[in-house]
Amino acid sequence: MTPQRAVLLLRISYRKPEDEDEEQENGGRAEFSKGIGRQEEDGRRLAERLGWKVARVIPEDDTSAFKRRNIKLPDGTTVLRTVRPGFRAVLEGLASGEFDGLIADDLDRVARDPRDLEDLIDVVESRRPRIPVESVTGSLRLNNDADVTMARVMVTVANKSSRDTARRVARKHEELAAEGKPGGGGFRGYGFTREGHQVIEDEAKILREIGARVLGDWDGWTDKQRAAIDPEVGESLYSITADFERRNVPTSTGVPWSPRSVGSVVSKASVAGLRSHKGEVVGEAVWDAIIPAERWERICERLAMRAGDADLTLQRWLNGVLRCSLCEHLLTGSHGNGGPRYWCDRKTGGCGKIAVKASFVEDEVETQVLALLGKPRVLEQLRTVANTEVTDEARAELAEDEAQLKEMAGAYARREVTFAEYKEARGIIEKRIKESRALLVSRAPRVLRKLLAGDVKAGWKALAPVDMREVILALVPGYDVLPHDRSYGNKFNPARLVPLEWPTPSA
């Protein structure tokens, strides 16, 4: 039967400019609309010639049929799969009967991974007679066993070709890195031109300014601003970001500055005239340095020493307070599609299954804290908590860990350890520091005593975010955040917050 509800699958993948001398599936991003348009025109001509009617066109722009990612299956297992929502929609439509035929430009537009082809074959052979499949080039047909065998052979060849290309491109980047040459591709690096990697002086001035403000020796501060900044800590990335916004300092991509991007642009090895590959500095680069290497290392050391929660706590004061109820990992502040939120970040070892909008949970915790502080005798009870041997030991351990963290940063700056070794050690030490600080805060609520000495509500509003967190941790060890109950819609259910209890002291 001639298909009357055929689907036309279009696909084009984009590769970065540094791969232009390798085998490409198509040209640059400017060719997207033309490439897709040509495929659709050719596909519709074929349908007209065959007497098919096209019910739907499914395009896959900037989609690789070869590159695989880790995804989680419904049974909870993690596997490597190509991520192609358009292709999956075609399979579902063919399986459900929504579509009764498939047209594509070529076999490699449909599949470059043998597993994807097998999924299509399963759907095609699930009907009797088989679901018709045609291609403009004639390379994809699944009408009989011979067609299926030929398709399998050709996809295997295409997959091998993609693997060869990936290997050559990776080797090319290693060679460029060893020679100190730029890799090219992607967005233009801040401070440099795309072609020739020449220094852009206006942006170079901004990079030097960021470095000076981080190191605490910038000559652009007023006397009042300079007096408020600790030269051993420097200015926060959050403060620098706010200043750039006021001054309308442009980025290289046109998107607004963020604390993360401010720290990122100044910590790239290219700024110091160094070439990095896969996160490791491999030698000197062929371009000029914007910031001397020795000074750049001090900047990176300063940023590394305060990385983790320095700038984020200025905005998200429940860092270290909220805990995932599923895996007991601490939630961290971040920006999601719906704005600021706290979530169980997979990048830091979390499960990624718990998230909560920041404004909702912060308002609720604030309400609970103020209600608790309004109860009689709270201050008296808090003042009865005396310094014990436990807190003395915690103070000593905290001092030792902070000193060790500084030593590790120095060792990395002197290249005595690799960044991977430094990062691993820093994570272990920072975990101990966090535990020691939590204990000291809970035993010695200095901020609480100051807060309860006057108008509690007014005092709370005047607290710095880090002090708000100290108040909370002095009252409760934290909160477990339960999964979202979808029956509430988008509303926040306060019952999702379950206060933790202080552990009972052992005898």
**Residue 230: pLDDT band with limits 50, 70, 90:** confident
Greater model confidence, 99 or 196: 99
**Residue where a domain terminates, one of 141, 176, 211:** 176
What value, to the nearest 5°, has the Cα angle with vertex 251 and ends 250 and 255? 100
The last residue of one of the domains, among 176, 191, 212, is 176
Of 134 and 455, which is predicted with more confidence?
134
Domain of 360? 317-499
pLDDT tens digits for range 151-198: 999 999 888 887 877 677 667 666 655 666 766 655 678 888 877 678
pLDDT for residue 393 is more than 70? no
pLDDT band at 25; cut points 50, 70, 90: very low
CA 227 centroid distance within chain: 36
Calpha distance 74→57 (Å, rounded): 28
Asked if residue 459 and residue 324 are part of one domain, the reply reads yes
Domain check: are 15 and 135 in the same one? yes
Long-range contacts of 14-19 (CB under 8 A, 24+ apart): 14/62, 16/184, 16/185, 16/186, 17/184, 17/185, 18/169, 18/172, 18/173, 18/183, 18/184, 18/185, 19/165, 19/169, 19/185
pTM value? 0.41
CB 323 within 8 A of CB 478: yes
In a domain, 395, yes or no: yes
Do β-strands 322-324 and 479-481 pair in parallel, antiparallel, or remain unpaired?
Answer: parallel
Helix/strand/coil (H/E/C) assignment for every residue in 307-361? CCCCCHHHCCCCCCCEEECCCCCECEEEEECCEEEEECCHHHCCCCCCEEEHHHH
Q: Flag whether pLDDT at 325 surpasses 70.
A: yes
Nearest partner of 274 among 257, 295, 254, 288, judged by Cα: 288
Q: Which two tokens stand for residue 231?
A: 């030269």
The share of the chain scoring above pLDDT 70, in percent, equals: 74
| Same domain as 263, residue 142 | no
Rg of the chain over all Cα atoms, to the nearest angstrom: 29
Let me know if residue 505 belongs to a domain.
no
Q: For residue 67, what pLDDT band results from cuts at 50, 70 and 90?
A: confident
Are 433 and 405 in contact by the 8 Å Cβ rule? The answer is: yes
Supply the CATH number for residue 218's domain. Answer: 3.90.1750.20
Q: Where are the beta strands (DSSP E) in 121-273?
A: 133-135
pLDDT of residue 311: 41
Residues 35-54: what's their mean pLDDT? 91
Instruction: Count structural domains, the chain.
Output: 3
Q: What is the CATH number of the domain that holds 53?
A: 3.40.50.1390
Mean pLDDT within 194-213: 88
Pick from 332, 320, 352: which is nearest to 483 by CA? 352
Q: Which of 212, 329, 332 is nearest to 262 (CA)?
A: 212
**Helix H segments across 182-287?**
201-215, 223-228, 237-247, 259-267
Q: Are residues 57 and 156 in the same domain?
A: yes
- pLDDT top residue among 208 and 428: 208
Give the pLDDT of residue 278.
60
426: how many CB neighbours lie within 10 A of its CB?
Answer: 20
Same domain, yes or no, for 112 and 234?
A: no
CA dist., res. 433 & res. 440, Å (int): 11
| Range with the largest mean pLDDT of 122-131, 177-186, 388-397, 427-436 | 122-131
Is the C-alpha dihedral spanning 407, 408, 412, 417 positive or negative? positive
Q: Which band of pLDDT confidence, cut at 50, 70 and 90, is reported for residue 323? A: very high
pLDDT in tens, 244-253: 999 999 998 8
pLDDT at 437: 54
Rounded Cα–Cα distance for residues 406 and 426 (Å): 10
Q: Tell me the pLDDT of the chain averaged across its residues.
A: 78
How far, in Å, are 233, 376, 459 from residue 450 at the CA level?
Answer: 25, 17, 9
167 and 223 together in one domain: no
